[in-house]
Amino acid sequence: MEKPETIFVIKNTNQNKYKIKGSLFIGIAEKISSSMQANSILNQIRKKYYDATHHCFAYQLLNNEEKYSDDGEPNGTAGIRILNAIKHFGITNVIVIIVRYFGGTKLGVGPLGKAYSQTAMSLLENTEFLKLKKYNKIKIIYNYEDSRKIHYLINKFTCKKIVNGFEQKPVINCLVETAALKNFIEKLNEQTKGNAIIKTDSKSVYVK
């Protein structure tokens, strides 16, 4: 499946609290990049809040992998509510965990689901997001006399992480926005009359 041109991720870990009828809900949002990392964070939270009644969660990854758990709460009251909050904000590579301390009064299925949903929504509403764009790494080997033209194009296309070097000829490694990559290479060949050697990495990365 083709990766999107832009994604939204959370900037930093965030936490909030919500209380209703004696029950305390603690929401935690963390950045992740894999299911293994999600499980590691979940285990850390379970250890930290070892005396809590429930540790419900949901996570969403860039490869569309997702998972959620009610962790003993009535079916459909917790995990899916958390996942729906993540999808509402259109973010990825994130795990949201809601820890519940039971306060002695049963809330009922409807109010319980609303409590989990409200905790997750409020948590993410107050979390800062970053918009990342998809880039590809490119290596340009060129003749010295084309230096000015090369640097002009790199600036024009707002390339990222530019590293200059020298092998047998001058070399530049940089990141080019995937959506503009084809046009960038065409302009590069045009400006250097096809004398530049261009190597692209098919693996894409996301950069702010």
Query: Using one digit for the tens of pLDDT, what is the confidence trace for 19-71?
Result: 999 999 999 999 999 999 999 999 999 999 999 999 999 999 999 999 999 99
For 197, the domain range is: 134-207
| Same domain for 107 and 152 | no
Residue 52: CB partners within 8 Å, gap ≥ 6?
26, 99, 100, 101
| Same domain for 118 and 32 | yes
Q: Is residue 84 part of a domain?
A: yes
Angle subtended at Cα 105 by Cα 101 and Cα 110, rounded to the nearest 5 degrees: 90
Among 72, 100, 127, identify where a domain stops: 127
By CB neighbour count within 10 A (0-12 exposed, 13-18 middle, 19+ buried), where does 60 fall? buried
Hey, what are 105's tokens?
A: 């009064």
Task: Scan for tokens 């990392």, then name that residue.
Answer: 37
Q: How many domains does the chain have?
A: 2
Among 108, 127, 146, identify where a domain stops: 127
The rounded radius of gyration (Å) of the Cα atoms in the chain is: 24
pLDDT of residue 26: 98
| Same domain for 101 and 34 | yes
Mean pLDDT of the chain: 95
